[in-house]
Structure 1
Amino acid sequence: MPTHPEKLTKLRPITLGFREEPERPVMGLCLTVDNAVCQAPHAHPRGQLLYASHGLVRVSTPAGAWLVPPSQAVWIPPHVVHEVALPGAVTLHSLFVAEAAAAPLFDQCSVIQVSSLLREMILRAGRLGADYEPDTPADRFMRVLLDEMAQATVTEIGLPMSTEPRVKRVMDALAERPGLAFSMTELAQVACASERTLARLFVKAVGMSVGDWNRRLMVQHALTLLDAGHSVQRVAITLGYTESSSFIDMFRGVMGQAPGQFVGQRGARHGGGS
């Protein structure tokens, strides 16, 4: 079930976002936390790419709020006020991009797909850190990383979040157990509302039904598993489907194509398998 707010660890502000140093276009950071949240809404002069290689990251900005799995990352342009919450155990990678270097990237908050190549580059940037010198292999790597970020695809299956307490409790429950684990009756109990009230609140809060939101969540989780090399049959079983065909139909309904086709095309676009 969702984590109680009082049990969340308050994270101290990260200073990298405030270091100008344009000669270092990207500063990488990796940290592992459990049930954490930033102390307060904040903004910094560097842009920020937030990526959880394990777990989920919840990002809120004036433009919207998103729940992001390991198949995606969130881009926050410079000077945009945001909050970050990390429910559960999370390995978080942050790339802080100098304001001038951020200009060619996305001009608004965006959720992007993370290819296998981009994922490995993000992880390496975290290992390189922030104190490399100009015109070194690390510097050149960071500049190639910026090129790869600029080519990333903005996802069409983002998960909008809500601050409405009953809706948020349901979203947290679904996110902790992606799949067919809950019936509408059980979710209504989580929300402490009737099924009809929950259905109405959900559509009002995020513009889609509980079922549609959960299907997006399942597809995002499926993409993470498929990217890790799991078979379609194994992913279907993990998500609670007794037949792979039902999972494939659900995936096709959200993505417009079968999981095998999507992963194959994604691997071809990025020069290898997924």
Structure 2
Amino acid sequence: MQRPVFGRQDFDYKPSVPVVALRVDVQAREHEIPIHQHESGQLVIALRGAVTCDVPGALWMVPPQAGVWIPGGTPHSNRSTANAVLFFLFIAPGAAALPARCCTLRLSPMLSEMIQYLAGLPPTYEPGSATDRLAHVLLDQLCTMPAEELFLPMPQDARLRRISQAITLDPSDRRTLSDWAHELATSERTLNRLCTAQTGLSFGRWRRQLHMIVALRELSGGATVQQVAYDLGYESPSAFITMFKKAFGKPPATYISDRLRVEN
């Protein structure tokens, strides 16, 4: 079943069956679903392009053919790259032994194909039917998928949230912590202490990690290394490549191609 846009009714989707898959084709611009929550657990999947999921305390990254698991009742918002192809897997409470906290699950090619196939079937089905049997095999497989930690811890302090929101909207914003302290009428030391206490990272490390999350999203969506480097405010693509390699152990082009090769 294909849905080209997200309707308000999907924000509180309550399947009457163990699992329902919905497909969403994003238009030729970035798309953001505002903060919402639903009783069912949700797996957010990017078949093409990428998604970031903002949940309390963290910003999660969904690379191609991986999924972010969001337990039922968790407030969250999703932002996808232009022209992304997404799947939303709604899982009824108690239908599968999935984690009680958010995590990224790497999907096998077989599981990805099963999810895509389920999305093309009617959203309701009878117990014991072929679709029901497929749904239970899908859930069994999903519970075996390895977890990844592609997320950025987000601060809760109002002042730091203001900074994080500004940088998230404009990653090229290069204002220093001293600049922010002056703007927020506080001290640089206070902001850095709060950032370390609430995220486990200094402000400089936190901003670099944010850049890497954004970079993965944009590269997975088809942006070039040069474009991403300049969008993040790096002076040159080589400086960005160096930082990316420090974070992920590989240059960006190699990292993305290797991941796609494994998943396809």
TM-score by length of 1: 0.67
Moved more, 124-133 or 251-260: 124-133
The residue number in structure 1 matching 2:100 is: 108
Task: Decide which of 244, 265, 271 is 2:258's aligned counterpart.
Answer: 265
- Cα gap change, 1:97 to 1:198, in 2 (>3 Å): same
Structure-1 separation of matches of 2:181 and 2:112: 37
Which residue identity is paired with 1:27?
V
How many residues in Structure 1 have an aligned counterpart in Structure 2?
244
- 1:210 shift after superposition: 1.5
- Cα gap change, 1:43 to 1:221, in 2 (>3 Å): closer
The residue number in structure 2 matching 1:95 is: 89
User: Which secondary structure does the structure 2 equivalent of 1:260 belong to?
Assistant: helix
Which residue identity is paired with 1:108?
A
Structure-1 separation of matches of 2:11 and 2:186: 39
Which residue identity is paired with 1:193?
T
Task: Decide which of 145, 152, 165 is 2:158's aligned counterpart.
Answer: 165
The residue number in structure 2 matching 1:214 is: 207
Structure-2 separation of matches of 1:124 and 1:37: 28
Partners of 2:22 and 2:87 within 8 A in 1:
yes
The residue number in structure 1 matching 2:58 is: 66
Partners of 1:166 and 1:192 within 8 A in 2:
no
- Cα gap change, 1:94 to 1:186, in 2 (>3 Å): farther
Q: What RMSD, in angstroms, separates the aligned Cα atoms of the two structures? A: 4.0
Structure-1 separation of matches of 2:33 and 2:12: 21
Structure-2 separation of matches of 1:199 and 1:243: 27
What does 1:157-236 align with in structure 2 at a 5 Å threshold? 157-179=150-172, 181-189=174-182, 191-236=184-229
The Cα offsets for residues 67-89 of structure 1, whole Å up to 9 and x where unpaired, read as: 234537532345xx422356899
Structure-2 separation of matches of 1:160 and 1:13: 27
- 1:209 shift after superposition: 1.2
Structure-1 separation of matches of 2:171 and 2:115: 25
Task: Decide which of 39, 50, 57 is 2:53's aligned counterpart.
Answer: 57
Partners of 2:11 and 2:38 within 8 A in 1:
no
Partners of 1:116 and 1:227 within 8 A in 2:
no
Which residue identity is paired with 1:16?
Y
User: Which secondary structure does the structure 2 equivalent of 1:162 belong to?
Assistant: coil
The residue number in structure 2 matching 1:247 is: 240
Structure-2 separation of matches of 1:193 and 1:145: 52
Structure-2 separation of matches of 1:232 and 1:253: 16
The residue number in structure 2 matching 1:82 is: 74
The Cα offsets for residues 41-99 of structure 1, whole Å up to 9 and x where unpaired, read as: x773x422246877753212xxxx21234537532345xx4223568999996422134
Structure-2 separation of matches of 1:55 and 1:214: 19
Partners of 2:12 and 2:38 within 8 A in 1:
no
Partners of 1:66 and 1:160 within 8 A in 2:
yes
The Cα offsets for residues 23-45 of structure 1, whole Å up to 9 and x where unpaired, read as: x332245789868334xxx773x
Which residue identity is paired with 2:76?
V
Partners of 2:68 and 2:105 within 8 A in 1:
no
- Cα gap change, 1:205 to 1:254, in 2 (>3 Å): same
Structure-1 separation of matches of 2:78 and 2:261: 32
- Cα gap change, 1:188 to 1:140, in 2 (>3 Å): farther
Partners of 2:244 and 2:250 within 8 A in 1:
yes
- Cα gap change, 1:226 to 1:122, in 2 (>3 Å): farther
